[in-house]
Amino acid sequence: MLDITRVFIGACPAALVAVLVACAELPTTTTSAPASSLSSTGPFFHLDANDARAYRALAREQDLHLTACSQERTCEQAHFSRALLALFDNQRTAAKHFQEVIAGAPKSRLATVSADWLKLLQDAPSEKERQAHLAKATQNVILELLNREQVVKEELSTREKKLEELSTQLETLKLIDQEMNEKAHRIRPRTRTFQGISDPADATK
């Protein structure tokens, strides 16, 4: 599973891909992740030991990002990613960060997605309801993944345009500098010529 995450990590948060893969691997009748309440500290998705350590490392990185975030949107995204990663380790932690998303930006798209996950974590639904909630949550993860990819493409396009503009400005400055050097080079010989012409009155002395 971790290999799939690495493929996408340059284009989108690893947490999204991890949850998407985990949802796809769940059996039709879920036995590995029992219905739970907020008091549960166990994982929602179960991993083998190697993958679990890797995702805990990603979670620690996300915790560092959370301490540094300053803008509302940045923190909203950071809490959401941290919540998804917590699904592999601690349901209580996941619920806490989903709640932070809702509290920080209650009208946002991520708040709606977070509310769907909270239903799975807190409400202890029946198996049928659980599958419906899980299907909806999986759909939302896919949509979020596609949205992140689009945002990354737009950001890259904007950067490329800025780099192109800077490159054009640099070329313009080089041309201006070259023209000024050429003018200075043409002026200097003429100045020496005028200085070399002696005054006729001086010649008779």
Contact 99, 114 (CB under 8 A): yes
Domains of the chain, residue spans: 2-157, 163-200
Please, what is the angle between helix 109-122 and helix 72-86, to 10°? 30
**Between vectors from CA 38 to CA 34 and to CA 39, what angle results, nearest 5°?**
90
pLDDT category at 96 given cuts 50, 70, 90 is very high
Q: How far apart are CA 2 and CA 55, in angstroms?
A: 8
**CA separation, residue 87 to residues 4, 96, 165, 203 (Å):** 17, 11, 44, 100
Query: What pLDDT, in 10s, does the model give residues 74-85?
Result: 688 889 888 888
Lowest mean pLDDT among 59-68, 97-106, 125-134, 174-183: 125-134
Mean pLDDT value across the chain: 71
pLDDT at 100: 92
pLDDT at 34: 43
pLDDT at 102: 93
**Between vectors from CA 5 to CA 3 and to CA 8, what angle results, nearest 5°?**
115
List of residues 6+ apart from 186 with CB closer than 8 A: none
Phi-psi region of 124 (alpha: psi -120 to 50; beta: other; left: phi over 0): left
pLDDT category at 44 given cuts 50, 70, 90 is confident
**Model confidence, pTM:** 0.55
pLDDT at 145: 67
Lowest mean pLDDT among 32-46, 93-107, 156-170, 177-191: 32-46
Contact 112, 125 (CB under 8 A): no
Query: What pLDDT, in 10s, does the model give residues 7-21?
Result: 333 333 555 555 545
Lowest mean pLDDT among 4-18, 106-120, 134-148, 185-199: 4-18
198: DSSP letter: P
